[in-house]
Structure 1
Amino acid sequence: MITILLADDQRLVRAGLRMLINDTDDLTVVGEATNGVEAVRMHAELAPDLVVMDLRMPGLDGIAATAQIRAATPTAKILVLTTFDDDDHLFPALTAGASGYFVKDTEPSVLLDAIRRTVDGDLLFSPALLRRLVDRALLTPAPTVAEVPLTPRERDVLRLVGEGYGNQDIADRLHLGVSTVKSHVATLLAKTNSDNRVRLAVYASKLP
C-alpha cells in the first residue's frame, strides 16, 4: 500500500484528493497538512511514500517545505499539485527537490498514475510543462550519442524513456524486472551526464 501525505490549505481540495486516493486499492492518505510547517513535521512523523504538495500555503510555502523535507530526507518523493504553471513556480520547485509537477486541472486518472510512477522513481510533469522543460533543455548543448557507448538494451530503455514511459511500462514492454530497468536508467543517467529524466529524454531525441 502506497502511503500519501496531502499538503494543501484548501479543505475542499484535500477532501477531493482524499476521496480520489482512498477509493483505490493500492493508495491511502495517512495525513493532511494545512501549511508547510505541518507538512515538514508530519513527513518526519509519518514517513509517507509520497507528499502531494501545494505551493501557495500560509506561513511556510510549498517550495520551502519541499526543500526542508528533502534536506532531512533526501529520498523523499514530493509531487507538486498547484494552480500555477509558470516558470517562476516550476523551476524553484524543481530546484527545491520536487519529484514532479502537475496543475490542479489534471485528469484524476492521470494524477493517480503520476502518484504511482513518482513513487516508482519517475520524474513526471503535466504534458505542457514537460514540453517546456524539454524545449528549454534542448537549448543547452548535450553530448552526441557517438560520444557515449551504449549497449543495445540501454538503447532500448533510453528510447522508451524518451517516449515518456515509466519504469513499470518499460519493464513490461521489454520483459524485464522493474529493478533491472531502474538499474539501466541509473546507468544511462551517469553515462549521458543527465541529472534527471527530462535531460535523458532530450538525449534520447538525438538517437539516430
Structure 2
Amino acid sequence: MSVPGGYASALVVDDLPGARAWLAAALQAAFPGIEVATAGTLGEALARIDPPPALALVDLGLPDGSGMQLIEALRTRGAATLCIVATVFDDDAHLFPALRAGAQGYVLKDRDRDSLAGMLRGIAAGQPPLSPSIARRLLRHFQPLPAADADAPPLTPRETEVLRLTAKGLTLIEVATALGLSRHTVSGYLKDIYRKLSVGTRAEAALEAARRGLVAP
C-alpha cells in the first residue's frame, strides 16, 4: 500500500494506554493508511522491531527500561527507522541523551492530536520533527556565550556555587544544606542570579551554567 509521506509502518511505544491511542491516532491522521503497532514496555517494543518500522514514536520512561534503549537497538541494527521521542520532558537532561542515543526528533505531549499530526506531516516535507520549544532550546544551546555586559554585575563566588549546585539538580533545601546556609538565604541568591543572568526559570539557569562550563551539558 502506498502511504502519503512514504511511512508505511510505525511503532508507538508508551506505557500509558491513553497516550498510545493518542499517538497512534495522530500518526493515522498524518499518514492515512499507515500500519501502526503499539507496545507498552521496552520488552514488547524490542519484540516488534523485526522487521523494523519506518517510523517510531517512543516515550522515554518505560516500566522495564528507557525508550533510549530501543532507539539504540534500532541504530545498532542499522535500521532506517525515523525515531522520534514523544515525551513530557523538555529539559536538557532528557533531550541531549536522547539525541546522542540516535533520536532524530523530539516532540512534547503538550498539543492536541491534530497539531501533532500536522507536525508529523511536516516530516514528509523535510521539516525537522521538533517541538518549537525544543528547537529553540537546541539553537540556544549551540549559540556562543555572549560577551559579558560591562554594566551587568558579575556573579559572586557564592552565587556561582549556588548556580552550579542548582544546575546539577539539587533542590533549594539540598543546596542550603550543602553550603551550610538557610533556605531563605539560598532563595535570595537565586533571585540575584536570575536577575544577573536575565533568566526566569531553573531550566534556563541550568543551561546558562552549562554554557559557562560550571556543569556538563
Calculate the TM-score normalised by the size of structure 2: 0.57
Distance 1:106 1:135, change over 3 A: same
Residue of structure 1 in register with 2:43 after alignment: 37
Rounded to whole Å, the distance in 2 between the matches of 1:21 and 1:74 is 20
AA aligned to 2:109 is K
Is the Cα contact below 8 Å between 2:25 and 2:113 reproduced in 1? no
Shift of 1:76: 1.8
Residue of structure 1 in register with 2:12 after alignment: 6
Shift of 1:81: 0.5
Residue correspondence of structure 1 range 115-126 to structure 2 within 5 A: 115-118=120-123, 122-126=127-131
Shift of 1:107: 3.7
For 1:102, what is the secondary structure of its paired residue?
strand
Structure with the higher helix share, 1 or 2: 1
Residue of structure 2 in register with 1:54 after alignment: 59
Rounded to whole Å, the distance in 1 between the matches of 2:121 and 2:30 is 11
Residue of structure 2 in register with 1:177 after alignment: none
Structure of larger gyration radius: 2
Residue of structure 2 in register with 1:111 after alignment: 116
Residue of structure 2 in register with 1:26 after alignment: 32
Give structure 1 regions of 4+ aligned residues with deviation exceeding 2 angstroms: 16-30, 106-110, 113-124
Is the Cα contact below 8 Å between 2:22 and 2:113 reproduced in 1? no
* Aligned residues with identical type, % of pairs: 32
AA aligned to 1:75 is A
For 1:75, what is the secondary structure of its paired residue?
coil
Q: How many residues end up aligned between the 2 structures?
A: 140
Distance 1:112 1:20, change over 3 A: closer
Distance 1:37 1:122, change over 3 A: farther
Shift of 1:40: 2.4
For 2:85, what is the secondary structure of its paired residue?
strand
CA deviations 1:62-119 (Å, max 9, x no partner) are 1111111111134221111011111100000000111110111124333223323435
Shift of 1:31: 0.7
Tell me which of 127, 131, 136 is aligned to 2:136. Answer: 131
Is the Cα contact below 8 Å between 1:69 and 1:76 reproduced in 2? yes
Q: Which runs of 5+ in 2 are unaligned?
A: 146-217
Calculate the TM-score normalised by the size of structure 1: 0.59
CA deviations 1:112-153 (Å, max 9, x no partner) are 23323435665321111111110111128xxxxxxxxxxxxx
AA aligned to 1:130 is A
Shift of 1:24: 5.3
Rounded to whole Å, the distance in 2 between the matches of 1:74 and 1:20 is 23
For the aligned residue pairs, the C-alpha RMSD in angstroms reads 2.4
Tell me which of 78, 94, 114 is aligned to 2:83. Answer: 78
